[in-house]
Amino acid sequence: INGAREDRAALGWYDVGLQLVKNDAGELGFKVRVGGGMGRTPTISPVLREFLPWNQLMNYLEAVIRVYNRYGRRDNSWKARIKILVKAEGQAYIDQVNEEFRQIVEDEGGPHTITQAEYDRVAANFREPDLDLSPANAEAETLELLRTAANEDRDFGRWLTSNVLPHRHPQLRAVMLSFKRLGYAPGDATAEQMEAAAELADRFSGGEARVTHEQNLLLPWVRRDQLPALYQAAKALGLAKPNIGLLTDMIACPGGDFCSLANARSLPIAEAITERYQDLDELWDLGQIDLHISGCINSCGHHHSGHIGILGVDKDGKEWYQITLGGSDGTTLSGPAIGGKVVGPSFTAAEVPDVIEALLATFRALRKPGELFIDALRRIGHEPFKQAANAARHPKADQEALAEQD
């Protein structure tokens, strides 16, 4: 479910994706997508309804599930997913859902229609925190203080640009705490760091923090004049790195270190790439790049939707990695949701960082001024990147890696 203008939940990649929208009359409703998914059959969900009134949501979902329950595959556990049914039936599935919805509303009286009273009851649990919105400094003075601090500390200026988001209230900002740093798996934290993050939420964000799709923490209620103090406190905890949206702000699953389903280890790959790209000047020069890592085809790291995706695969009991390029979550900056394409044979763990470096060197050589990686890739095409990736293979490293695994 996504309520923002920007798709922050990768809606096209899920069994059911719901985008809150308003129609021309200003009424609230949902754009409904059904039948997306990753795994062995990566699929982008089609739109079933451009606008569904909000109070009919549960009735419509009932219709979606009834049709799937009626026709979904029970003969093959690998195909027992709603995406398989939607892909196979296409418009016929959509027509069946809409007919089922009509029957639920007209013939059954819409038993799951959400009443205004029920909406109000639930909404009452989501009050805004009580915040002191009367800062000591006037707006012009606050802006001048931030400008001065940013000029004196380059990293703080970058943090304001990458980790601080606009807010509908002019005196507030939403702030990302980066849980992507050397020595930790992406998204991981110690108990002490979580306690400290909770204290930051109490001190700066009305006691509220949220986990993001990208495995970071968001403080949604930060006063603008308190940004310098929050930055210093977060920096002391190692949570203020200005790398949100950059290469090292990667998504990674636990992989073979923790998951019995994994074919390969994800975390050492993430660590090796993070270690190689510690220079903030270089990261900022490269610009926004979504890097996603999965330890197996179940795609828990969403490798299909990364600008660069890394997938762990098994070959004769050995760990290898496929590289995909050109995927997208569906954000405005990256364009519509789409699955990445594999760029050649699999690579050993030792080769993956060199392959990533070769891809980025190709991007640097061929990009236009100000062009993002994903835009350059779409303009140029995959072939130069594929050639660079394959050229990064080094037989000696292959032999050493295989000998070490043996």
Number of domains in the chain: 3
Mean pLDDT of the residues in the chain: 93
Instruction: Say if residues 348 and 402 touch (Cβ distance below 8 Å).
Output: yes
- Shared-domain flag, residues 312 and 374: yes
Question: What is the domain range of residue 308?
Answer: 251-405
Is 241 domain-assigned?
Answer: no
Is 60 domain-assigned?
Answer: yes
List pLDDT tens digits, range 30-61: 999 999 999 989 999 999 999 999 999 999 99
Instruction: Say if residues 61 and 48 touch (Cβ distance below 8 Å).
Output: no
Q: Which of 77, 93, 123 is the last residue of a domain?
A: 123
- Shared-domain flag, residues 369 and 341: yes
pLDDT > 60? residue 404? no
- Shared-domain flag, residues 209 and 260: no
Distance CA 32, CA 190 (A): 38
| Predicted local confidence at residue 8, as pLDDT | 87
For a pLDDT cut of 90, what percent of the chain falls above it?
A: 83
Q: What is the DSSP letter of 115?
A: P
pLDDT > 70? residue 196? yes
Predicted TM-score of the model (pTM): 0.91
In the predicted model, what is the mean pLDDT of residues 393-401? 59
| Predicted local confidence at residue 14, as pLDDT | 96
Is 308 domain-assigned?
Answer: yes
Which among 333, 235, 340 is positioned nearest to 293, based on CA atoms?
Answer: 340
| Predicted local confidence at residue 326, as pLDDT | 97
Helix locations, 72-138, DSSP H:
82-89, 91-102, 116-123
Q: Which residue has the higher pLDDT, 49 or 332?
A: 49
- Shared-domain flag, residues 341 and 263: yes
pLDDT > 70? residue 399? no
Q: What is the DSSP letter of 128?
A: P
List pLDDT tens digits, range 201-235: 999 999 999 999 899 999 999 999 999 999 999 99
pLDDT range class, residue 376, cuts 50, 70, 90: very high
Distance CA 219, CA 167 (A): 11
Contacts of 372 (CB under 8 A, 6+ apart): 287, 288, 289, 333
The single-letter code of the amino acid at 380 is I
- Give the count of beta carbons closer than 10 Å to the beta carbon of residue 66: 16
- Shared-domain flag, residues 282 and 362: yes
pLDDT range class, residue 396, cuts 50, 70, 90: low
- Shared-domain flag, residues 280 and 347: yes
pLDDT > 80? residue 115? yes
- Shared-domain flag, residues 309 and 371: yes
In the predicted model, what is the mean pLDDT of residues 140-166? 90
Contacts of 61 (CB under 8 A, 6+ apart): 16
- Shared-domain flag, residues 364 and 399: yes
Distance CA 326, CA 280 (A): 24
In the predicted model, what is the mean pLDDT of residues 66-81? 93
Is 303 domain-assigned?
Answer: yes
CATH number, position 367: 3.30.413.10
Is 246 domain-assigned?
Answer: no
Q: Can you tell me which residue has the tokens 């012009």? A: 140
For a pLDDT cut of 70, what percent of the chain falls above it?
A: 96
- Shared-domain flag, residues 272 and 359: yes
pLDDT > 70? residue 142? yes
- Shared-domain flag, residues 216 and 75: no
pLDDT > 90? residue 334? no
Query: Is 363 in a helix, a strand, or coil?
Result: helix
- Shared-domain flag, residues 94 and 156: no
CATH number, position 218: 3.90.480.20
Q: How far is CA 30 from CA 17, 26, 308, 329, 336, in A?
A: 9, 12, 31, 19, 18
- Give the count of beta carbons closer than 10 Å to the beta carbon of residue 370: 7
Is 278 domain-assigned?
Answer: yes
List pLDDT tens digits, range 274-293: 999 999 999 999 999 999 99
pLDDT range class, residue 395, cuts 50, 70, 90: low
- Shared-domain flag, residues 282 and 398: yes
Contacts of 10 (CB under 8 A, 6+ apart): 213, 302, 305, 329, 330, 337
Q: Can you tell me which residue has the tokens 């569906």? A: 330
Is 27 domain-assigned?
Answer: yes
Is 138 domain-assigned?
Answer: no
Q: Which of 181, 208, 236 is the last residue of a domain?
A: 236
Which region, left, alpha or beta, applies to residue 37 given φ > 0 means left and ψ of -120 to 50 means alpha? Answer: left
